[in-house]
Amino acid sequence: MIELTRDDYEKIVNYAKKGLPFEVCGLFGGVLKGDKKIVKKLYFLTNTDKSEEHFSMDPKEQFAAVKDMRKNGLELIGNFHSHPSSPSRPSEEDKRLAYDSASSYLILSLEQSEPVLNSFKIDGDKNVTKEELVIV
């Protein structure tokens, strides 16, 4: 299970809307409490691809985010990105590029009038499992 504050949810939605028509991306750090992952900090990164269908995170920004997490005693819990015009589920490219089966992959869809955010786990064989996401 992953826990995200309502404020952080709104920040992701606003970032995604501001980035239209392109996908936006980022990382999130937090703490682990048993099977619960609690998001403590979001890192909004640049999609260097500037694409409506895929993203690449800026490596320098990724490094700075991970460095900041370590400095603040946070774990890298996962990443997020938006789907401007497709559903909130991993695309074939998302599955192919998933590098860490322990990570959570948050995908925000702006396809409908109401944003849809889901969290997924993607294992080493590229099997996708929806992860419980609680917005508090």
Say if strands 75-83 and 128-131 run parallel, antiparallel, or are unpaired: unpaired
Residues with Cβ < 8 Å from 64, sequence gap 6 or more?
none
Residue 21, preceding peptide bond in cis (omega within 30° of 0): yes
d(CA 62, CA 98): 15
Q: What is the pLDDT of residue 64?
A: 98
Mean pLDDT of 61-76: 98
Is the pLDDT score of 70 beyond 90?
Answer: yes
Mean pLDDT of 66-87: 97
Q: What is the pLDDT of residue 99?
A: 85
More confident residue, 53 or 60: 60
pLDDT in tens, 80-135: 999 999 999 999 999 988 988 899 999 999 999 999 999 999 999 999 999 999 99
Is the pLDDT score of 57 beyond 90?
Answer: yes
What are the sequence ranges of the domains in the chain?
A: 2-135
CB 28 within 8 A of CB 77: yes
Q: What is the pLDDT of residue 79?
A: 97
Is the pLDDT score of 71 beyond 90?
Answer: yes
- CATH superfamily for 2-135 is Cytidine Deaminase, domain 2 (3.40.140.10)
d(CA 123, CA 30): 21
Mean pLDDT of 61-69: 98
pLDDT in tens, 7-42: 999 999 999 999 999 999 999 999 999 989 999 999
DSSP 71: H
CB 131 within 8 A of CB 119: yes
